[in-house]
Amino acid sequence: MTSQPSLKQAGHGPQSPGAPGDPGSGLQAGLKNRHLSMIAIGGVIGAGLFVGSSSGIATAGPGILLSYALVGTLVVLVMRMLGEMSAANPTSGSFSAHADRALGPWAGFSIGWLYWFFWVVVLAVEATAGAKILEGWIPAVPQWGWALIVMVVLTATNLVSVGSYGEFEFWFAGIKVVAIGAFIVIGGLAVFGVLPGVHSDQASLSNLTAHGGFLPNGPGAILTGVLLVVFSFMGSEIATLAAGESEDPQRAVTKSTNSIIWRIGVFYLGSILVVVTLLPWDSKAIAEKGSYVAALDSLGIPHAGQIMNFIVLTSVLSCLNSGLYTASRMAFSLGRRGDAPKGFARTTARGVPQTAILVSVAFGFVAVFFNYKFPDTVFLFLLNSSGAVALFVWLVICFSQLRMRKIIQAEAPEKLVVKMWLYPYLTYASAALIVFVLGYMLTDTEHDGRETVLLSLGVAAVVLVIAFAKQKLGGGHREAVEAAPDTAVPVSSDTRG
């Protein structure tokens, strides 16, 4: 393993090797507390919650609540581990940088590039989804035109400054939070029959046990439901990357980590509970219209479909905005550590990793092209080969935390401000659950789980071979770059923008 600075030597706050505002000096602390709060809250709310939940309900019935609870618990534990490491060493590389330190350069290289690959594919998925909605509203512009427009606009947003990304994400996430909050309140009042002017004959807590019981398709459907909902949680870790560009990274990470329990409990379990109590799980409306549109329709809310389209569009744009930000920061961190071209690590006077952003969005455009030209071949391969990356990331976080706890205790115990509960037992249990889910996916042929795992493992194997080859042939190069922290410098009053 290459020599690296101790945690006492490494940057743990808004500092960087260079003067603020100088090109190439590093990232800048341009994210405000309100930005980070909303990024943390909205980061767990993806379009998958609105679009994909109907499939889970059809599979497991009301028991889908247990699927969400199981995955939600796993995410809480994994984010607790990540919070422990990131609070001690905030960095834009997040888990990739921690894996580099804890497991070796091969681990940081591999998971960093796999994560980058995942997000550039997501860029294409979200751009296409948003374009479909916009084309439905304004058909004069073709779908590919809308995809181009949203990609260009959000690329420009990210190129201006990290503050502009934060501002856009603040409003995108805010709309999602308000929408789900209103849905839960209105739906909950309707279920208990205390909402004036709204009458739903089907709304009742009895929907949880009627129509075949709480588990109408048997206990096995809970695990199948896990496969359908697990990927809608990807994005919870973005707050730990963004914290590296705030004025008080440690505080931001700690706050984000401590709040994830209620975020998942309210937004996922709360909203799904409202859906399966407003309507029977086997309602045709859920299958035909989607769970949230069907629920709004049952309350007699006019234009429910268009309202939901607006909320989904907001979620899509939020995911696209954050995806571009996340991919570029991971590329920046890889470049800073010598695991990507040096140009990825250079920043503008405003602390923007311009090259990393442009390269990431360029690959996103290529993926969009494949989605339109070869949706059932090339793009399907890209989609499936990146599908299990979320689980790989969580698994690497588990193994990294097992090692990093000892490193932190030895080098800087005062930085252990966030601690994983029942260490190391819950860490081992989390890793075992992730491995179990991956194994169960190998038996799933109905929802492409087997193909997703096999293709993702194939891509991961290729990246690992490259990582080990690079480490063996050129490991000495890393020593000069490791000492340069990739945390942010404060925004100088002299810096424009």
Integer angstrom CA distances of residue 136 from 122, 150, 214, 244, 264: 21, 15, 37, 39, 31
Residue linked to tokens 């909402």: 195
Q: Look up residue 105 and give its two tokens.
A: 């350069």
Integer angstrom CA distances of residue 496 from 31, 146, 157, 348: 15, 32, 16, 11
Contact predicate 57/275, CB 8 Å: yes
Classify each residue of 379-397 as buried b or exposed e, where b means 16 or more C-beta atoms within 10 Å of its C-beta: bbebbbbbbbbbbbbbbbb
Q: What is the pTM of this model?
A: 0.89
Give pLDDT, residue 9. 54
> Which CATH number is 33-470's, of 1.20.1740.10, 3.40.640.10, 1.10.4160.10, 1.20.120.420?
1.20.1740.10
- CB-based contacts of 203: which residues, under 8 Å, 6+ apart? 187, 190, 191, 193, 277, 278, 279, 298
Q: Look up residue 134 and give its two tokens.
A: 């916009």
Q: How far apart are CA 203 and CA 284, in angstroms?
A: 15
Q: How far apart are CA 20 and CA 36, in angstroms?
A: 21
Interhelix angle 354-373/304-336, rounded to 10 degrees, is: 130
Rounded to the nearest 5°, which phi and psi values hold at 137? -85, -40
Give pLDDT, residue 491. 44
The amino acid sitting at 460 is A
Classify each residue of 234-264 as buried b or exposed e, where b means 16 or more C-beta atoms within 10 Å of its C-beta: bbbbbbbbbbbbbbbbbbbbbbbbeebeebb
Q: How far apart are CA 11 and CA 22, in angstroms?
A: 18
pLDDT in tens, the chain (497 residues): 444 556 665 544 433 433 333 344 488 888 888 888 888 877 667 777 777 788 889 999 999 999 999 999 999 999 999 999 999 988 888 999 999 999 999 999 999 999 999 999 989 888 988 998 999 999 999 988 999 999 999 999 999 999 999 999 999 988 988 998 999 998 998 888 887 655 556 778 888 998 899 999 999 899 989 888 888 888 888 888 888 898 888 888 888 888 888 888 888 899 999 999 999 999 998 888 888 888 888 888 888 888 888 988 998 899 899 999 999 999 999 999 999 999 999 999 889 999 999 999 999 999 989 988 888 888 888 888 888 999 999 999 999 999 999 999 999 999 999 999 999 999 999 999 999 999 999 988 877 788 999 999 999 999 999 999 988 887 544 543 443 445 554 444 333 33
Measured from the Cβ of residue 405, the count of other Cβ atoms closer than 10 Å reads 21
Contact predicate 339/13, CB 8 Å: no
For 345-406, give the DSSP string: G---TTS--HHHHHHHHHHHHHHHHHHHH-TTTHHHHHHHHHTTHHHHHHHHHHHHHHHHHH
Q: What angle do CA 374, 377, 382 make, to 5 degrees?
A: 95
Q: Look up residue 274 and give its two tokens.
A: 């409202």
Give pLDDT, residue 150. 93
DSSP β-bridge partners for residue 31:
246
Please write the tens of the pLDDT for every residue from 190-200. 888 887 655 55
Contact predicate 316/47, CB 8 Å: yes
For 96-116, give the DSSP string: HHHHHHHT-HHHHHHHHHHHH
- CB-based contacts of 176: which residues, under 8 Å, 6+ apart? 42, 45, 311, 314, 315, 318
Interhelix angle 64-88/94-102, rounded to 10 degrees, is: 70
Interhelix angle 378-386/105-137, rounded to 10 degrees, is: 130
DSSP 8-class letter at 335: H
Q: Look up residue 310 and give its two tokens.
A: 């607006």
HSE (side-chain half, CA atoms, 13 Å) at 156: 6
Classify each residue of 418-453 as buried b or exposed e, where b means 16 or more C-beta atoms within 10 Å of its C-beta: bebeeeeeebeebbebbeebbebbeebeeebbbbbb
What element of type H or E holds 489?
Answer: strand 489-490
Give pLDDT, residue 475. 53
